[in-house]
Each structure stands twice: as structure tokens, then as C-alpha cells.
Structure 1
Amino acid sequence: MDTQKLSVEAIKNGTVIDHIPAGLGLAILRQFKLLQYGSAVTVGFHLPSKRGKRKDIIKIDGVHLDDDAANRLAVFAPNATVNDIDNFAVVNKRTLRLPESISEVFRCPNSNCASHSEPVKSFFSLRSIGEQTKFKCRYCEKTFGRDAVIEA
């Protein structure tokens, strides 16, 4: 008898975002509007991981993320993988790369920034310094850490 049991149900076709740091799955769902597709979404929180730590996982039925959308997830989960599923099998496994810029996802933490009072879409240049991600706002040109931008 097979004693292996899936903690989160398998999907036939779609995308699996795996190895999300535990506790960040809900933030990724919200920030990246993953519910907007109208597809079934399955989320697992604080699941055991073969890498030794706990993880979150998101499965989106019938939706395949392009490379740009997948790489935007690196802002939250740089070590996550995005798996394309076809007929219950992984057909493509992508590791994430931090994009050079990101727009329309976060607000600038600077309350004096023009992006708060003008009809413009937020836009940040991104760069990685060691383990840290830095966001530079196009409008006020201030640089912020990831946590400051996420909480804004």
C-alpha cells in the first residue's frame, strides 16, 4: 500500500507555485491578484518541505503564467519554483529571476511621492543586494527595502 499522501490536491492542467516561504502564500495571492482568473485555486500553508523548512504552495487550475508573471513572484519568494502542469505531470519547472522592474503591484511608501496624488501607475526598479531586494521608485527616486514596500 502506498503511504504517500498529498497535502494539497493535484491539478490536471495549470500552474503550481511551490517552495513559497511559509506564511507568504496569502500575500502572494493578494498582491499578484491570482484569484482574478476565476479558476479553482488551492493553497497549502506551512506544509513540510523536502528542503527541511516549512513552505506554502499555490495551485491554479487551468492557468499558465508566462515568464514575466512568474519572475515577479521572486520579489516575495526568490527560491520558489513555478511548475507548468499538463495532464497531472510537470512539463516545465522554472526557477525565478528577480525582474529589473515591477509596476502596478505595490504603492510607494513615501507619502509625498507623486504616485499618491497623480494619476500614474506605480513603478519600481529592482535590484538585489545579497539576500535583500531594493526598490527604487521612478517618481520620487527614493530606495526602499522589500518590507517597507510590501507594507505600504
Structure 2
Amino acid sequence: MNQNTLSVEAIKDGTVIDHIPVGQGLTILRQFKLLHSGNAVTVGFNLSSQSNGSKDIIKISGLLMDDAMANRLALFAPRATVNDIADFKVVRKRTLTLPDTISEVFSCPNSNCASHGEPVKSQFYVRINHGETRLRCHYCEKTFARKSVIDA
């Protein structure tokens, strides 16, 4: 008997971030401050995925992400999809593209960077070099691997 069940409850209106690599769901919750939005958030970790074997998923009730916010997710989950939900149905499905710049999300790993001692918002230029995502700080102009910026 073929039995289809939902591992994570459906939402009426909001956003579903699907196909997040296992282990990145918590990082996305933290980096995007999704738990502080005041909206109900449902999270699934290590869920079965036909295409990837397993995945994380985040559902945010009552919040629609703009394209800029959705594309910032590509730094954490390049193959994720962002689905807009209305009346329990997917009304828009977006694949992600890396933004050219990203602001106010990360701190510069360079402790001597002016962004640490001045009242300025962090800003990085995003580039792909030999298949690796690299971020260059607007202020100190140093370039870092994606992981070192995310972990800073």
C-alpha cells in the first residue's frame, strides 16, 4: 500500500524553504532571525528527500520573502527552493541565485576591519571563484571563503 504522509504540517499562507541541505536549517533560522519574526515557524530536520536522500525544511506562516531575502539563502542552501503559499497552495516557486552583494547579515572575520569599530552596516561582494563562493568585504577589501564569513 502506498501511503503519503506529511512529516511537517502544511501552512495556510506564508513561505516554505525546501531542499535545505541537512544541518543548514538551524543556521538559516539563526542567520535570518526567523524565530524573532513573531510568526509561527515549523522546522523539519533530516527529512526524506527523493532528490537528495535527506533535507531540512522551514515553514514560516504569514511571511512572504522578497526576492532579495530569498536569494541571500543561496549562501547557505544554493539548491533550495522558496515557495510562496496562499490558501494551502504553492502560488510561486523560486529557485535561488547568489546575490551580487549582501549587507547586514554577516560580520567581517577580519578583526581589524573598520566595520567592527564604526557605526556602519556590513557589506560583502559575492563572487564564485573555481566553484567556491567567496565574499569580499566592502571596507577592508579582504576576500574570504563563504564558510569563514558564515562562522565569524
Q: TM-score range by the shorter chain?
A: over 0.9
Q: 1:93 — aligned with what?
A: 93
- Give CA-to-partner distance per residue, 1:42-62, whole Å, 9 cap, x none: 000011111032110000001
Q: 2:115 — aligned with what?
A: 115
Matched to 2:82, the amino acid is: V
Matched to 1:62, the amino acid is: G
Q: 2:73 — aligned with what?
A: 73
Alignment CA distance shift 1:35-1:141 (3 Å): same
Alignment CA distance shift 1:38-1:68 (3 Å): same
Q: Aligned residue pairs: how many? A: 152
TM-score, structure 2 normalization: 0.96
Q: CA deviation at 1:2?
A: 6.6
Between the aligned partners of 1:90 and 1:136, the Cα distance in structure 2 is 36
Q: CA deviation at 1:20?
A: 0.4
Matched to 1:18, the amino acid is: D
Alignment CA distance shift 1:130-1:58 (3 Å): farther
Q: CA deviation at 1:107?
A: 0.5
Q: 1:3 — aligned with what?
A: 3
- Give CA-to-partner distance per residue, 1:76-134, whole Å, 9 cap, x none: 01100000011111110000010000011100000111111111111000012343110
Between the aligned partners of 1:54 and 1:119, the Cα distance in structure 2 is 42
Between the aligned partners of 1:131 and 1:78, the Cα distance in structure 2 is 12
Q: CA deviation at 1:27?
A: 0.5
Moved over 6 A (4+): none
Q: 2:36 — aligned with what?
A: 36
Between the aligned partners of 2:115 and 2:52, the Cα distance in structure 1 is 41
Matched to 1:94, the amino acid is: R
Mapped pair 1:57 → 2:57:
yes
Matched to 2:104, the amino acid is: E
Q: Which runs of 5+ in 1 are unaligned?
A: none
What value does the CA root-mean-square deviation take over the aligned residues? 1.2
Between the aligned partners of 1:46 and 1:96, the Cα distance in structure 2 is 21
Q: Which runs of 5+ in 2 are unaligned?
A: none
SS at match of 1:35: helix
Between the aligned partners of 1:125 and 1:12, the Cα distance in structure 2 is 36
Q: 1:23 — aligned with what?
A: 23
